[in-house]
Amino acid sequence: MKKVLYSVSLCLASLSAAAQVKPFQQHDRVIFVGNSITEAGAYVSYVYLYYMTHFPDRKLVIMNGGIGGDKAADMYRRLDYDILAKKPNTLVLTFGMNDTGYFEFNSDDADKTARERIEASRRSYEQIEQRLLQLPDLQKILMSSPPYDETAKIKGNYFKGKSKAMQEVVAFQEAAAQKNKWPFVDLFRPMTALNARLQEKDATFTMIGPDRIHPGNAGHLVMASLFLKSQGLSGQPVADVRIDGGKLKQAQNCKVSGLNASAGKISFDYLAAALPFPMDTVSRIWGNDQKQSDALNWIPFTEDFNREMLAVAGLPAGDYRLLIDGHPIGKWSAAAFEKGINLATQQETPQYKQALSIMQLNMRRMETESRLRRYYWVQGNFFDKKNMRMQDDAAALDSVRQQAQKDGMLRYHEENYETAMYKELRTHWQEEIDLIINLVYRLNKPVSHKIEIVKI
């Protein structure tokens, strides 16, 4: 497994080397604009959770600007009233999955249709580009779509040639970014390469999901990790403590004080500058049983982003118990301590439990935000086309109810719209999101802990 992860890591690093994105800073307002993959929200929330835990003093806002079914043309149409109205100073734009089509690839003129759709996508993107060029203070980041899984040996949703069409969209996105000197984040190529590598062992494997289109929670973690890599954040530890012969040799991103080494015991006070990244073990995307933790078998996420290392050399041979604030965490040999224990993988540490509370708050924030995204789905996919955008009156509600009787997707959004149509309630939801963010940045501050290593 280590060999696979190492080779995959090299592959990802080489494929994403060109994507250099400025890390987010204090008070940034970042919005990710995309389709249903973005609206699902997982990769956006994982990026946010990384910042919440690894930069607890760097308060920023990361927003979801995804709407299911969107193509570049749809994103252009809602750019001002939905996206720019949220006053971002950083915009991440991704499209391509819907632009290239689906069942069209099963027709006799698939190549011609694909070319037409690619050109339509390019023209719509150029409209977005011209609007964004009018905003010099807005940081623009182009990001490719994750891939359509054309190679998994599974049934359903097989559209031969769709991946090739998506490659052409990725190519013009990258060229546009280079032309404008905007950062570009490539998800498509490294995820395609990783998926193919994993399919060498199991032809039915898919990093995306059973519909070949929408990644599950694990796929979203891969997306988040590639984005964080593009920001140069790979390799930054939560903390790194190294003790040798009872003396402190290194304390990276943390403070160590009161170090006391005696026969059979070492103790010290430890204050990290960050929290570990908590790993979710529940499948949360409908129709896809991937868990976020599944991605740990595919990519070296822990090595890249989640190392809270405690290494103690010079201990006499034998087994030792690790206690934090008097609570037993586990036991390891002297050799294991010399190699180093990654506390970020120990779910019983108080700092991990603190990070779990931040993860839960972040999920509540995402759930509330999703109600707003579903409201804008109705605006973008229904009212925009009826010239009733943001009308939100009795006539609008009647129109939704009537159309929902024969439109399954609108029917799914109908109940949410019946409440979200009231501006006062949407304002309350936004206030709830703001309250959760403020709470996160009160509760995410690392605290000092007493570390003890005691010979058994």
Q: Are residues 17 and 103 in the same domain?
A: yes
Phi, psi dihedral angles at 58 (to 5 degrees) = -105, 80
Q: Which of 168, 199, 230 is the last residue of a domain?
A: 230
Per-10-residue mean pLDDT for the chain, 456 residues long?
45 48 97 98 98 98 97 97 98 98 93 96 98 98 98 96 97 97 97 98 96 98 98 97 96 98 94 98 94 97 98 96 98 98 98 98 98 97 94 97 96 97 98 98 98 97
Q: Domain of 195? A: 2-230
Q: pLDDT tens digit string along 155-192?
A: 999 999 999 999 999 999 999 999 999 999 999 999 99
Query: How does DSSP classify residue 287?
Result: T
Indicate whether 293 belongs to any domain.
Answer: no
Indicate whether 8 belongs to any domain.
Answer: yes
Q: Are residues 247 and 372 in the same domain?
A: yes
Classified as helix, coil or strand, 142 is strand
For the chain, what is the domain count?
2
Cα distance between residue 277 and residue 258, in whole Å: 27
Q: Are residues 56 and 164 in the same domain?
A: yes
Q: Are residues 16 and 121 in the same domain?
A: yes
Strands (E), 230-361: 239-244, 247-252, 254-262, 265-272, 308-313, 319-324, 327-333, 341-342
Q: Are residues 245 and 186 in the same domain?
A: no
Indicate whether 39 belongs to any domain.
Answer: yes
Q: Are residues 13 and 162 in the same domain?
A: yes
Indicate whether 49 belongs to any domain.
Answer: yes
The domain that contains 81 carries what CATH number? 3.40.50.1110
- Reading the block at residue 273, the tokens are 């500058």
Q: pLDDT tens digit string along 107-136?
A: 999 999 999 999 999 999 999 999 999 999
Q: Are residues 183 and 313 in the same domain?
A: no
Q: Which residue has the tokens 């009231």?
A: 422
Integer angstrom CA distances of residue 75 from 67, 96, 126, 176, 394: 9, 11, 12, 17, 27
Q: Are residues 213 and 265 in the same domain?
A: no
Indicate whether 278 belongs to any domain.
Answer: no
Indicate whether 77 belongs to any domain.
Answer: yes
Q: Are residues 224 and 251 in the same domain?
A: no
Cα distance between residue 252 and residue 230, in whole Å: 23
Q: Which of 230, 264, 282 is the last residue of a domain?
A: 230
What is the model's pLDDT at position 180? 96
CB 32 within 8 A of CB 63: yes
CB 24 within 8 A of CB 88: no
Q: Which of 230, 255, 290 is the last residue of a domain?
A: 230
What is the model's pLDDT at position 2? 45
Indicate whether 292 belongs to any domain.
Answer: no
Beta bridge partners of 325: none
What is the number of other CB atoms lying within 10 angstroms of the CB of residue 384? Answer: 17
Q: Are residues 30 and 154 in the same domain?
A: yes
Q: Show the CA angle centred on residue 353, arms to residues 295 and 362, nearest 5°.
A: 65
Helix axes 217-230, 2-15, angle to 10 degrees: 50
> Who contacts 365 (Cβ-Cβ below 8 Å, separation ≥6)?
45, 433, 436, 437, 440
Q: Are residues 55 and 182 in the same domain?
A: yes
What is the model's pLDDT at position 18? 47
- Reading the block at residue 11, the tokens are 């592959």
Cα distance between residue 423 and residue 286, in whole Å: 29
> Who contacts 1 (Cβ-Cβ below 8 Å, separation ≥6)?
297
What is the model's pLDDT at position 14? 42
CB 180 within 8 A of CB 167: no
Indicate whether 172 belongs to any domain.
Answer: yes
Cα distance between residue 67 and residue 41, in whole Å: 10
Beta bridge partners of 144: 95
Long-range contacts of 149-152 (CB under 8 A, 24+ apart): 149/195, 149/206, 149/207, 149/208, 149/209, 149/212, 149/213, 150/212, 151/195, 151/196, 151/199, 152/195, 152/199, 152/203, 152/204, 152/205, 152/206, 152/208, 152/212
What is the model's pLDDT at position 178? 96
Q: Are residues 216 and 252 in the same domain?
A: no
> Who contacts 207 (Cβ-Cβ below 8 Å, separation ≥6)?
149, 191, 194, 195, 198, 215, 218, 219, 222, 298
